């Protein structure tokens, strides 16, 4: 080891030791640069442009100091007054403990635990998504002010829920690219403080979107916090057979890449203005994502991304260690840095970048380019603007965490997301005056604040069964199974005994993190172990039909329960967070009307014959491959995308929609114009050849009537289908959605904006977006309306 390398290693070790000490105690206030006597450096001058300040700082750093900034745990540089900084904090559905940047060891002991993302997505409510992100941001900024967290958070997860067995599907907004894109935009703008100018009414239960950045700060420069869209790209496998996320090569067609996997990331960057992108572990078509220059260049050159790119944790190491893509560790860090990975979550760059530099495979300009993106985000966050106690967000503190408003928001999210899958003979809601004794069975019913992956310390520890205590004086509980794995029937008898004593029975079955989580996929879609046996045994023992409540983020094949008349109602609660028990009890007893819709397809167990490693979205009849998600899947399902029942009934009326769209070709060179006209004769046109796509957008005006006697919310889903037989076209695809609250026996009008270039199009086998000419059918519930697209 050379003298310089020994010095670098010592600095790293001292910094890690110092950080570990800091984890045991919370600093009352964050450390910050530009304190006297270091405040006179040009990079501390707030009157200078950020780009000038960044270049000033970079110019003052030595090679060793530059390398020290390529890790999530950045070492302090005392001579310049730069404190250590931890880039890695997590905020998927509340401030989480996964990242080392967060701790609850000081005045803040917990943070609001919102429902897991998959359940929030089931609400299909953009305003709700934005409000949750804003609330998390407030708590995050408050925790930063008290030394509990950083300002850079690695959320949201916007990968497509492609396979129902995926252990992290629960973290995503589901299987539809449009929905995932919409969620990404709302989360990022809400979290970073960059509010869209559009205002949302209060028909969904919320007022206008909150804004924290000043008007003159919303110019793309300033950030309240930094959000990170992950995992780029085609990541949706943990461990299946011999494939792990660390060695898997995702073979993806250009077609699927364009209209499925990349769509949410493009929206997250172009419309959400995300300041961070995380590249994933896996390879994509033979190249590790964090080493794929073509892939990472695209986000900057084509999508206009100006934030920083981080690797997933140790994803730079896997380039050499697992993917065997390079011959040496030095080659791995060099190829990642040159490809566009700016920072390594982990220490691989710290340990091997100096050698790569000395070997000549990395130049100083490569280091400077990475630091430019990293420091730019920190400057936009105000980290170099002096004492944060004097800043715009200085007033956020412990009083802004776990507030009643945030807890009520979490409760409303669970209410809106819970999905009623089955309700025979209108068994629900229950009249609590007719319930003297309620039996609740299942190990998940007694878990405190079931939040799923990437959870933190909740404000209050509440289980699902505790939510029923306020409604019923006498509730009986038995686990039935020792745990969710349910490998024994030893607890069945205790459960049977309380079921026979009760007026009504609720069985909480399904999944927990022992069945689905990071680094762990499922092999079966059936209930684990003896759970099916438990449910049917209790249904046979009960005096009345039972209520089945399903936990877990992934679909479960409960076709046995759907067919069994002794199981009257089925509800899916996923991981509902700390207010989930209260929300569920309010729905079961009719204080709230369920309105959630499934954001993913619930397949039958037969789907598990499909290799999880097959990334193809489209069906292939020649080899029996059935395709994936509602857009392409040709097999039978238990519950389809968008399924969800209500205690009332709704009817929709199409008030107005265009019958004809006339498009014109953009002005271009003669050769391209001839090619475009030739394609139009074949029945389609490339979207990038349409003149002014923006002006072709149109509204679909809808009236929704609540035909029942109970107030409720209805999720409108507008789909489109191409009538011509185009190879590779989706069976149907979502082009608009909204959630509207409609009082009993009343009607509400709303409008859905449709962008035909973006939403009526799909990708051809070359990865180009094409728009079919001719008739497109718009589908709303049982209404169909034809729009003719013409040149």
The pTM score is: 0.94
Active-site residue, from 312, 331, 385, 557: 312
Q: What pLDDT, on the 0 to 100 scale, is given for residue 194?
A: 74
**Measured between alpha carbons, how far is residue 213 from residues 224, 277, 629 in Å?**
7, 22, 39
Q: What pLDDT, on the 0 to 100 scale, is given for residue 693?
A: 82
* CA diameter of the chain: 82
Under a CB-based contact definition with an 8 Å cutoff, are residues 81 and 36 in contact?
A: no
**Measured between alpha carbons, how far is residue 316 from residues 15, 275, 375, 499 in Å?**
21, 20, 21, 54
Q: What pLDDT, on the 0 to 100 scale, is given for residue 220?
A: 58
On the question of a cis peptide bond just before residue 408, with omega within 30 degrees of 0, the verdict is: no
Residue 372 structure tokens: 């430019």
Phi, psi at residue 736, to the nearest 5°? -170, 150
557 is catalytic: no
Q: Look up tokens 């560790």; give the residue.
A: 329
Rounded to whole angstroms, the Cα distance separating 85 from 152 reads: 10
pLDDT by 10-residue block (mean), the chain, 791 residues: 45 44 52 93 96 98 98 96 97 97 96 98 98 98 96 98 98 98 98 64 45 56 96 98 98 98 98 98 98 98 98 98 98 98 98 98 98 98 93 95 98 98 98 96 92 96 94 96 97 98 98 98 98 98 98 98 98 97 98 98 98 98 97 98 98 97 73 58 85 88 98 98 89 98 98 96 96 96 95 80
Rounded to whole angstroms, the Cα distance separating 23 from 10 reads: 20
Residue 403, class by beta-carbon neighbours within 10 Å (0-12 exposed, 13-18 middle, 19+ buried)?
middle
Rounded to whole angstroms, the Cα distance separating 758 from 263 reads: 10
Q: How many residues does the chain have?
A: 791
Q: What pLDDT, on the 0 to 100 scale, is given for residue 195?
A: 64
Rounded to whole angstroms, the Cα distance separating 612 from 112 reads: 35
In three-state secondary structure terms, 174 is coil
Closest CA to 149 of 192, 94, 78, 87: 87
Rounded to whole angstroms, the Cα distance separating 104 from 111 reads: 9
On the question of a cis peptide bond just before residue 156, with omega within 30 degrees of 0, the verdict is: yes
Angle 184-190-191 from CA coordinates, rounded to 5°? 90
Number of other CB atoms surrounding residue 790 within 10 Å: 10
């Amino acid at each position: 080891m050379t003298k310089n390398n020994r010095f670098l290693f010592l600095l790293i070790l001292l910094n890690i030791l110092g950080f570990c000490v800091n984890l045991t105690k919370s600093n009352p206030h964050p450390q910050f640069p530009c304190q006297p006597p270091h405040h006179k450096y040009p990079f501390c001058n707030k009157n200078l442009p950020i780009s000038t300040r960044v270049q000033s700082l970079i110019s003052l750093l030595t090679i060793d100091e530059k390398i020290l900034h390529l890790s999530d745990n950045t070492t302090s540089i005392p001579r310049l007054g730069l404190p250590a900084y931890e880039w890695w904090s997590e905020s998927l559905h509340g401030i989480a403990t996964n990242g080392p940047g967060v701790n609850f060891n000081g005045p803040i002991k917990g943070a609001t635990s919102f429902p897991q993302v998959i359940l929030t997505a089931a609400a299909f409510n953009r305003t709700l998504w934005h409000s949750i992100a804003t609330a998390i941001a407030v708590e995050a900024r408050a925790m930063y002010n008290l030394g509990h967290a950083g300002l850079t958070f690695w959320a949201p997860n916007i990968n497509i829920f492609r396979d129902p067995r995926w252990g992290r599907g629960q973290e995503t907004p589901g299987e539809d690219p449009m929905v995932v894109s919409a969620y990404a935009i709302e989360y990022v703008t809400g979290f970073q403080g960059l509010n869209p100018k559009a205002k949302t009414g209060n028909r969904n239960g919320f007022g206008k979107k909150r804004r924290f950045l000043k008007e003159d700060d919303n110019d793309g420069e300033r950030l309240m916090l930094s959000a990170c869209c992950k995992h780029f790209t085609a990541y949706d496998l943990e461990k299946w057979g011999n494939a792990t996320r660390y060695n898997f090569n995702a073979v993806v067609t250009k077609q699927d890449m364009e209209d499925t996997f990349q769509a949410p990331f493009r929206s997250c960057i172009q419309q959400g203005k995300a300041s961070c992108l995380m590249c994933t572990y896996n390879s994509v078509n033979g190249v590790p994502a964090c080493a794929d220059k073509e892939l990472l260049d695209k986000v900057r050159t084509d999508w206009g991304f100006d934030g920083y790119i981080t690797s997933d944790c140790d994803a730079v190491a896997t380039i050499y260690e697992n993917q065997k893509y390079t011959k040496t560790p030095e080659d791995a860090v060099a190829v990642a840095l040159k490809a566009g990975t700016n920072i390594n979550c982990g220490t691989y760059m710290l340990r091997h970048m100096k050698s790569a530099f000395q070997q000549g495979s990395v130049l100083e300009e490569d280091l400077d380019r990475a630091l430019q993106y990293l420091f730019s985000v920190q400057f936009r966050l105000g980290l170099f603007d002096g004492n944060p106690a004097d800043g715009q967000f200085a007033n956020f503190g412990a009083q802004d965490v776990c507030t009643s408003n945030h807890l009520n928001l979490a409760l409303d999210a669970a209410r809106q997301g819970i999905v009623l899958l089955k309700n025979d003979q209108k068994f629900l809601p229950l009249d609590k005056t007719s319930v003297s004794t309620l039996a609740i069975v299942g190990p998940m019913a007694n878990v405190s604040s079931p939040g799923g992956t990437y959870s933190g310390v909740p404000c209050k520890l509440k289980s699902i069964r505790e939510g029923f205590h306020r409604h019923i004086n006498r509730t009986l509980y038995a686990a039935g199974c020792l745990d969710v794995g349910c490998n024994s029937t030893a607890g069945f008898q205790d459960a049977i005994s309380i079921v026979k004593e009760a007026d009504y029975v609720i069985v909480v079955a399904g999944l927990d993190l022992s069945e689905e989580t990071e680094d762990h996929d499922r092999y079966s879609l059936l209930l684990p172990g003896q759970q099916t046996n438990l449910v049917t045994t209790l249904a046979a023992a009960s005096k009345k039909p039972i209520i089945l409540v399903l936990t877990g983020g992934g679909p479960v094949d409960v076709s046995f329960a759907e067919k069994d008349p002794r199981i009257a109602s089925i509800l899916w609660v996923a991981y509902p967070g700390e207010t989930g028990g209260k929300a569920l009890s309010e729905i079961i007893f009719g204080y709230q009307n369920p309105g959630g819709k499934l954001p993913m397809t619930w397949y039958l167990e037969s789907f598990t014959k499909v290799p999880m490693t097959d990334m193809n979205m489209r069906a292939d009849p020649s080899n029996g491959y059935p395709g994936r998600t509602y857009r392409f899947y040709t097999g039978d399902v238990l519950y389809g995308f968008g399924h969800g029942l209500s205690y009332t009934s709704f009817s929709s009326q199409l008030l107005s929609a265009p019958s004809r769209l006339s498009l014109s070709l953009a002005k271009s060179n003669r050769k391209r114009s001839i090619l475009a006209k030739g394609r139009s004769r074949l029945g389609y046109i490339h979207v990038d050849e349409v003149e002014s796509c923006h002006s072709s957008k149109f509204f679909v005006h809808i009236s929704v009537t609540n035909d029942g006697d109970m107030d409720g919310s209805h999720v409108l889903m507008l789909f489109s289908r191409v009538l011509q037989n185009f190879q590779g076209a989706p069976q149907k695809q979502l082009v608009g959605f909204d959630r509207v609250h409609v009082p009993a026996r009343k009607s509400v009008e709303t409008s859905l904006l449709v962008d035909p270039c973006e939403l009526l199009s799909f990708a051809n086998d070359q990865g180009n977006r094409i728009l079919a000419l001719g008739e497109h059918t718009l589908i709303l519930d049982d209404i169909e309306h034809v729009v003719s697209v013409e040149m």
